[in-house]
Amino acid sequence: MQVSKGQSQDQIRVSPVANGETLLIDGQWTASHSSDSFSSINPATGDDLGQVSAGDATDVDAAVLSARTAFDERRWLSMPYPERAKILNSIADRIEAEMDELVVNEVRENGMPVPIAQRTIGGGVQAFRYYAGWLGKIHGQTGEIAAGDAFHAFTLKEPMGVAALIVPWNGPFMLACHKVAPALAAGCTAILKPAEDTSLNTLHLARIALEAGVPAGVLNVVTGLGSIAGQALAEHPDVDKISFTGSTAVGRRLVQASAGNLKRLSLELGGKSPVIVLDDADLEMAIPGVLRGIMINSGQACVAGSRLYAHSKIYDKLVQALSDAASKMVIGNGLDEGVQMGPVISQKQFDRIIGYIESGVSEGAELATGGERHGDTGFFIKPTILSRVPTSARVVREEIFGPVLSAMPFDDLDWAIREANNTRYGLAGAVYTTSLEKAHTVARAVKAGTFWINTPSLTDFWMPFGGYKESGWGREGGAMGVDAYMETKSVIARLY
């Protein structure tokens, strides 16, 4: 990674942004009007990566005005769709060209190991290429109506307008791409609000978009605290759409804040995903699958398989094997070769996870492995497995968002399915079995937006992604991902 003069080797290059100018409004980089800022911290070392402008309601007003003006002037929509598709593909090409630097930045800001960062940044490339392919394929329908052939009836698909895109810190660059790409494909203008813990690398996406030819005002960025900048976006009367990925608690606040103008919401929220391992499962497949499903990105994944229900015939063997494998995982700075698990994002998150582990033990769980800090710097927690956890324990009921697996035995599959569904969440789930009948029986019975059979955490852009119950509203991905940013208009014309 090239580092400009005056920067330490641990700082993130945010060129052409400098001196905390991390707001992009109408094509210009600027600091917040108040000049307030905060630090972005490397969770592996505790080092300061750079300053982030703390945007507030005044900055949000400016960004929304920029996006509204760009939309009303049709700066984006007036371009022929092949030109817009070319720009989206150019964004993908430019991300790919800067892959090495973006990966290093992502590791420094989020803590994830390099191989995970490579996959997530690569997912951003794929998002823009996939949604570029939708240009020219977004259209309505025609048909006859009961009033007869004196009328011509058809529908139009139109962009909603100004979209606020609020992304989390656990996959910041990729998830920003997953929102910006379909929003632009649909024809919206946008304000991107990165998470305060991971704002800097996301700014490269906005810079790349400008360099690729996205007109000024079509994509704006407001960095800042969620409780201030995010809240202002949610309440703003000239924002038509909010797409949010994050916690269920924040999702509830967004619902309340958006009530003023009844803005459209897409909410991808929390999860407490169950994993059911039957006694006929191939354990050579299940053991690494279950472990990867919970420990990937230090357990900081909305779809993490955090509740394990294993048949009593194989329970002890499975938990022992998982514990042995977890205890051997290489923990450390994500930039170091061979590291399998990095730190959690912050001191706040570290304290929260340790508190959950302690509560699980106090409520009767057995600590099979982990449960404590790793090392003496950074926010590292050893991979943790809690065994024979009471089903009423907080670690079973609440989302932890850390490397903590709660394991419980079962004898009756119907009981396991009931417990899998005994949650306010419904984002994902999984089953491991060699029985095709049982696999599909469980897949149909578990209430979740995504379900895996004999594999963890796999998806594709054409497949809708979202949750049941308190895991969210709507779906991202595929046709539904584009449609989430569009309105449908019915038109009826008299011909004679």
Question: Is 303 a domain residue?
Answer: yes
Task: Judge if 456 and 479 occupy the same domain.
Answer: no
- pLDDT one-digit tens code per residue, 139-185: 999 999 999 999 999 999 999 999 999 999 999 999 999 999 999 99
Q: What's the pTM value of the predicted model, to 2 decimals?
A: 0.94
Tokens of 112: 């994830």
- pLDDT one-digit tens code per residue, 87-139: 999 999 999 999 999 999 999 999 999 999 999 999 999 999 999 999 999 99
Question: Is 5 a domain residue?
Answer: no
424: containing domain: 274-460
Question: Is 9 a domain residue?
Answer: no
Cβ neighbours of residue 352 closer than 8 Å, sequence gap 6 or more: 400, 401, 402
Question: Is 16 a domain residue?
Answer: no
Task: Judge if 264 and 279 occupy the same domain.
Answer: no
Question: Is 4 a domain residue?
Answer: no
Q: What is the DSSP string of 321-378?
A: HHHHHHHT--BS-TTSTT--B---S-HHHHHHHHHHHHHHHHTT-EEEE--SB-SSSS
Q: Are 133 and 85 in contact (CB under 8 A)?
A: yes
Q: Are 485 and 159 in contact (CB under 8 A)?
A: yes
Catalytic residue among 188, 196, 302, 476: 302
Cβ neighbours of residue 346 closer than 8 Å, sequence gap 6 or more: 41, 43, 197, 379
Question: Is 10 a domain residue?
Answer: no
Task: Judge if 347 and 443 occupy the same domain.
Answer: yes
Q: In the predicted model, is pLDDT for residue 190 greater than 90?
A: yes
Task: Judge if 35 and 179 occupy the same domain.
Answer: yes
Catalytic residue among 21, 235, 268, 470: 268
- Span 310-320, mean pLDDT? 98
**Residue 348 sits in a domain of what CATH number?**
3.40.309.10
CB neighbours of residue 496 within 10 Å: 5
Q: Are 132 and 95 in contact (CB under 8 A)?
A: no
- pLDDT one-digit tens code per residue, 320-371: 999 999 999 999 999 999 999 999 999 999 999 999 999 999 999 999 999 9
In the annotation, is 177 catalytic? no
Domain count of the chain? 2
Question: Is 29 a domain residue?
Answer: yes
Question: Is 394 a domain residue?
Answer: yes
Task: Judge if 259 and 383 occupy the same domain.
Answer: no
Task: Judge if 148 and 279 occupy the same domain.
Answer: no
Task: Judge if 150 and 177 occupy the same domain.
Answer: yes
Task: Judge if 285 and 225 occupy the same domain.
Answer: no
Judge if the upstream peptide bond of residue 16 is cis by omega within 30 degrees of 0: yes
Task: Judge if 287 and 436 occupy the same domain.
Answer: yes
Task: Judge if 261 and 348 occupy the same domain.
Answer: no
In the annotation, is 302 catalytic? yes
Task: Judge if 227 and 342 occupy the same domain.
Answer: no
Task: Judge if 255 and 343 occupy the same domain.
Answer: no
